[in-house]
Amino acid sequence: MPPGELRRPSELPLRKPPQVLLIKKDAPAAAEPAAVDAQTAPEGQPASAAAAPLAAAPAAPAKQRSDDELFDMGGMEGLSMADLLGPADQQRRPSQAQNSGEALRRSVDDFDFDEEAFLAALDENEPVGTTGEVVKGVVISVESDGVYVDIGGKAPGFMPKNEAGLGVITNIKERFPKGLEVEVLVTREQNADGMVTISARALALRQSWEKVRQMEKEGKVLQVKINGFNRGGVTCDLEGLRAFIPRSQLQQGEQHEALVGKTLGVTFLEVNPETRKLVLSEKKAATAARFAELQVGQLVEGVVASIKPYGYFIDLGGISGLLHQSCVSGGQLRDLREVFNAGERVRALITELDAGRGRIALNTALLENQPGEILIDKDTLQREAEDRANKARSLLRQQEQSAG
């Protein structure tokens, strides 16, 4: 072939594949010449049979084997690399298979899972009772220092003896027999042992304050028994709470110590659960009771208690009403003393009531048959006040209807 001309692949001479020599380090060098394989064994005789006499015979000089015999790859001709490596699924190691997405996945259903048991375990370990919470339970034990109540937690609630209720409890076992159902207030959340501190007294106090606030809202007049006194006033009990009545709020404030053991009608002056302050008033109760007897349009009689630049204050028997200067007469009034003086009795008509503020508005001008009559003939007006009041009430109703 001329130089420089390329040969076709089919014309290239065949070359032998690269040879691989396998050397075993653990095999003794002297034993290597004695190794007999199937190729060197006599025909018709197993390799093991041929090896036996050689092993027993004296060591002979090793026969030099050629490279072609050592590196003979004839049995591997025609095999591809894929045939040598084997199937693809056998090439991966177990760890590689686990890391791949082909690893088997187990669903939740394959595990031993019990939803009811799981929720029951949560309920069992859930804390029972938070501070300020009202809980119900059953008395399970009464000790010298307090009462143990089953409130549904992993440990019973403990109620100290001094928290068993309002007042003095002489026999706690009689008050809380075993098996008694009780309602208590949690005053301290559970400790490391799971026990909470509870109180019947705290719950009773809370309920008492709620009742008192409701009574105050309704403006009720209550009857209380005085059980003590001090320099500032007297004391009493109301719904299990200690209440105080200042001397200034008593009808007989100068001799208040003599009121111990007596019953008074009182109403609320201050109710403050946060500061535990409960103040009552006898005078305010008298005013409230008196207000309950009055109504707009009613003719009342009282005494002039004082004269102010703007009108008269009339004492109506424990409460005062204001006869404003603009309501004395329909005529021109130059001086209030032209009509009434202090201590003089007056009959007037009620035109406005405000029990919350303790105000009563009075009027004598509506009793006049003509403007300024009271300035000329006051006695006649007062004597005929009852009949004139009926006419005035009719006039007031007409005015209310017109305004409505």
Domain annotation covers residue 380: yes
Whether residue 367 sits in one domain with residue 341: yes
pLDDT band at residue 221 using 50, 70 and 90 as cut-offs:
confident
**Given this model, what pLDDT does residue 313 score?**
95
Domain annotation covers residue 98: no
pLDDT in tens, 260-297: 999 999 999 999 999 999 999 998 888 888 888 898 88
**Given this model, what pLDDT does residue 279 score?**
96
Whether residue 381 sits in one domain with residue 340: yes
Give the least confident one: 86-100, 158-172, 220-234, 385-399.
86-100
Residue 304 CA to residue 307 CA, distance in Å, equals 7
Answer yes or no: are the C-beta atoms of 268 and 215 closer than 8 Å. Answer: yes
What's the total number of domains in the chain? 3
pLDDT in tens, 156-174: 889 998 888 887 778 888 8
* Strand 241-246 with 263-272, pairing: unpaired
Whether residue 302 sits in one domain with residue 399: yes
Answer yes or no: are the C-beta atoms of 303 and 296 closer than 8 Å. Answer: no
Domain annotation covers residue 65: no
Domain annotation covers residue 272: yes
Whether residue 250 sits in one domain with residue 184: no
**Cα-based distances in Å from 328 to 157, 301, 316, 384:** 71, 15, 17, 16
Whether residue 178 sits in one domain with residue 148: yes
Domain annotation covers residue 176: yes
Whether residue 144 sits in one domain with residue 231: no
Domain annotation covers residue 110: no
Whether residue 239 sits in one domain with residue 143: no
Answer yes or no: are the C-beta atoms of 296 and 351 closer than 8 Å. Answer: yes
Whether residue 365 sits in one domain with residue 307: yes
Query: Of 265, 287, 309, which closes a domain?
Result: 287
Query: Of 287, 317, 342, which closes a domain?
Result: 287
Domain enclosing residue 266, as ranges: 219-287
Neighbours of 61 (CB within 10 A): 6
Residue 34 CA to residue 51 CA, distance in Å, equals 8
Mean pLDDT of 120-146: 76
CATH code, domain carrying 365: 2.40.50.140
Mean pLDDT of 100-108: 49
Whether residue 259 sits in one domain with residue 160: no
Query: Which of these, 126, 149, 146, lies nearest to 137 by C-alpha position?
Result: 149
Whether the per-residue pLDDT at 124 is higher than 70: the answer is no
- Higher-pLDDT residue of 42 and 65 is 65
pLDDT band at residue 190 using 50, 70 and 90 as cut-offs:
confident
Neighbours of 159 (CB within 10 A): 30
Whether residue 171 sits in one domain with residue 249: no
The set of residues, in sequence order, having a beta carbon less than 8 Å from that of 312 and lying 6+ positions away, is 304, 306, 322, 323, 328, 336, 340, 346
Domain annotation covers residue 178: yes
Whether residue 306 sits in one domain with residue 271: no
- Higher-pLDDT residue of 137 and 108 is 137
Q: What is the mean pLDDT of the chain?
A: 77
pLDDT in tens, 347-376: 999 999 887 778 899 999 999 999 999 999
Print burial letters for 261-295: b (CB count within 10 Å at least 16), e (below 16). eeebebbbbebeeeeeebbbbbbbbbbbebbeebe
Domain annotation covers residue 10: no
Query: Of 260, 287, 314, which closes a domain?
Result: 287
Does the global pTM surpass 0.85?
no
**Given this model, what pLDDT does residue 267 score?**
92
Whether residue 378 sits in one domain with residue 325: yes
